[in-house]
Amino acid sequence: MAFCITWSRRLLTVGVAVALTSCSGDLTPPADIGSETVSSVKVTRHTRQATYAAPVNAAQTTENVDPYLDQPNLAGMGDASADRAASLDQPLVDAAPQATGPLAADAQAMTIPDQGVNIDDGLGVAPVGLAEEQARDIAEGATSQPVVAGVGTDELVDMSSPSTPQTVPFDQAREANQITLPSRRRDAPEQKVAFLPRFSDPMQVPESYGGLTKADKACRQDLEKLGVRFQDIPAISNGPSCGIAHPILVSGFASGVQLKPAAKLNCNVTRAFAKWVRNELVPASRYRYFSGIKAIHQMSSYSCRKMNSRSNNPWSEHARGNAIDIGKFVLNNGKEIDVRKKGFFQFREKGLLKTVREDSCRYFTTVLGPGDAYHGDHFHFDLRARKRGYRHCSL
């Protein structure tokens, strides 16, 4: 049984081989393809001519050209004649431009020279080489790289920083930059700065630094003893005839007497006025009204003007802070006493004003008003200096 199975397998293999052999004859297609009858399928290699254009001038070719590039239709595809015609229609890279239409009457054909187009020449710009550009930068000092001259020698010179020409005597000068002409302009002297010490107390400033004189210091000490309320203010200067070197601002006196408004005066007239208030005015008001003085109203202190405000008169003592005008007194009981001339029946007021006016001549060199043409509503007190100690008191 096993023997039969083995022989049957062998016969089956032989039969399959015979069947395959009988079917491997000519393969004939069922119909014609195109105008030719294909009897069998054959592998055919088609060739295609190259589309590279042959050089116009045979001189342009070289001996070292690879022959592979001259083989036509390397790819072997398409119509070689059509590709050649298309390649001839395309302009060559180095060929002259061809006109696509008719030219105008005044138009000229543009030709490109063999050496190319010089754009710098057309723009009017001179070409600058690298060496020339570097030399120009060195001359203008615009280079950032160190420039050294004298390479190969023992003396190297740094050319990147401007050098000062060496000056020599006039008779030995060989170049113009070695000659130094004398200048008419004198060298400005060195300015010296002095640092002045600061003083919080004006009494401590030395006189050499613009401080108070000994007389001014002594006067201020007297004001403090008299109980005057004042403060030092900056110097006043309004020209050669107006001003106070060391002015003070006076606001009150002893016993609570106020000066309204505060007056700008020099120290000497303030001291004289303070003595007059303490020794004459306050006692007289207490004697006649049984009340002290609360306030004194002044009408003028420092003022840059001439006497009686007339332009042809000498300068007034007010222009130096050496005078004061008083217009009214106010008592502690609230009574106000105007210094203008009183009527016949105003006995107490007339007596008070007459007393203080007569006594004021011992403190001031000038006493005017009231009743004067230019001082009808106030007392005028000043310390005008006159010859032989003369005092003017219009009583």
* pLDDT winner (highest mean) among 108-122, 140-154, 251-265, 332-346: 251-265
Residue with more model confidence, 35 or 351: 351
Is the confidence at residue 245, as pLDDT, over 70?
yes
Task: With a cut of 70, say whether residue 71 has pLDDT above it.
Answer: no
Task: List the single range of 49-53, 132-136, 201-205, 366-370 with lowest mean pLDDT.
Answer: 49-53
What string of DSSP letters covers 31-52?
A: S-BTTB---S-----------P
First to last CA, the chain: 186
Question: What is the Cα 212 distance to its own chain's centre?
Answer: 43
Point out the least confidently predicted range of 238-252, 261-275, 286-300, 341-355: 341-355
Query: Is the pLDDT at 34 greater than 90, yes or no?
Result: no
121 or 379: which carries more pLDDT confidence? 379
| Distance, CA of 276 to CA of 271 (rounded, Å) | 9
- The Cα–Cα gap between 52 and 62 comes to 16
Please tell me the predicted confidence (pLDDT) of residue 17.
73
Q: Give the pLDDT mean for 40-63.
A: 51
pLDDT greater than 90 at residue 360: yes
Mean pLDDT of 277-287: 94
The predicted pLDDT at position 122 comes to: 72
Nearest to 268 by CA among 347, 212, 309, 348: 212
In this prediction, residues 305-322 reach a mean pLDDT of 92
